[in-house]
Amino acid sequence: MAESPGHSALRVLIVDDEPLARMRLAALAGQCEGVEIVGEAGDGEAALGAVATLAPDVLLLDINMPGLDGTALARRLGGRVQVVFCTAYENHAVTAFELGAADYLLKPVRLDRLRAALARAAQRLGAAAREAAPGYLHARQRGEEVRIALDEVIALQAEDKYVVVLHAGGELLIEDSLRQLEEAYPEQLVRLHRRCLVPRTRLVGLKTLADGRSLARLFGSALQPEVSRRNLAAVRRLLRMG
């Protein structure tokens, strides 16, 4: 549906192992003003990948799914995305709200309840954005000083004498070393290997390759930097803590 003038659409990802349930939720969400359905996923693992590449604001999330179920997925995401659980069972509500869910809807989901849940999720997103006070990195581009908010950074990679700042708008070079950046923002950056830092809020999961190497899944990006064996345990601990 078209977004409201002057406001960004609420980006919604639908996660349910039943195709008919996904279809019905998509039809209902399509009737909600200011909502954009960015994709669907049929299980928790697929949803992790979709979150990393599609950067949704809200998940309409089923609970009982094969493999990684809805509550385990919400725990893995650690509040990085607003979650509205949509389930046929009442007995998970306490767990859902302990995980910080924006709402808990019982199937069959009613349009008025879905509208209210999405409005609540949008309010929470707005409040979080207002409260956030990101640091800024400073660089020079074509002779002019520019700055980029740390929460817009995807990754920081060391190359020769500079650090490359990868962000949604492209790349910048800065003269600070990775060590200086890590010391300046110890609560916001995590080291993947000796030549790469990422914001903790970007880290959503790990992918293990057949040769045993581990790659990081990053929110809002298809980039998957390698995680060194030295840093793997710390990265896993961060993911478990959310």
- The pLDDT tens digits of the residues spanning 106-133 come to 999 999 999 999 999 999 988 776 655 5
> Which residue among 99, 131, 163 closes a domain?
131
- Distances, alpha carbon 49 to alpha carbons 140, 203, 229, in Å: 34, 12, 22
Residue 180 and residue 116 share a domain: no
User: Given the structure tokens 């995680």, which residue do they identify?
Assistant: 227
In whole angstroms, give the CA distance from residue 156 to residue 177: 10
Closest CA to 192 of 203, 184, 180: 203
Residue 155 and residue 75 share a domain: no
Q: Which of 78-82, 119-123, 184-188 has the lowest mean pLDDT?
A: 184-188
> Which residue among 105, 131, 157 closes a domain?
131
Closest CA to 85 of 65, 66, 46, 38: 65
Is the separation of the CB atoms in 37 and 26 below 8 Å? yes
Residue 229 and residue 155 share a domain: yes
Residue 125 and residue 226 share a domain: no
The predicted structure's pLDDT at residue 132: 55
For residue 7, pLDDT over 70 is answered with no
The predicted structure's pLDDT at residue 151: 83
Judge whether 191 lies within some domain: yes
What's 180's domain CATH number?
A: 2.40.50.1020
Residue range of the domain that includes 17: 10-131
Number of domains observed in the structure of the chain:
2
Judge whether 3 lies within some domain: no
Most confident of 100-109, 132-141, 144-153: 100-109
How do 203-208 and 196-199 pair as beta strands?
A: unpaired
Cβ contacts of 188 within 8 Å, gap of 6 or more: 135, 150, 199, 200, 201
The SS3 call for residue 178 is: helix
Round the average pLDDT of the chain to a whole number and report it: 90
The predicted structure's pLDDT at residue 103: 97
Mean pLDDT of 173-182: 90
What's 27's domain CATH number?
A: 3.40.50.2300
**CB atoms closer than 10 angstroms to residue 102:** 22
Q: With pLDDT > 70 as the criterion, what percentage of the chain qualifies? A: 94
Residue 169 and residue 154 share a domain: yes
For residue 56, pLDDT over 50 is answered with yes
The predicted structure's pLDDT at residue 1: 37
The SS3 call for residue 160 is: coil
Residue 145 and residue 126 share a domain: no
Is the pTM higher than 0.75? Answer: no
Q: Which of 59-68, 103-112, 156-165 has the lowest mean pLDDT?
A: 156-165
For residue 166, pLDDT over 50 is answered with yes
Mean pLDDT of 204-209: 94
Judge whether 2 lies within some domain: no
Mean pLDDT of 166-180: 90
Please indicate whether residue 14 or residue 127 has the higher confidence score (pLDDT): 14
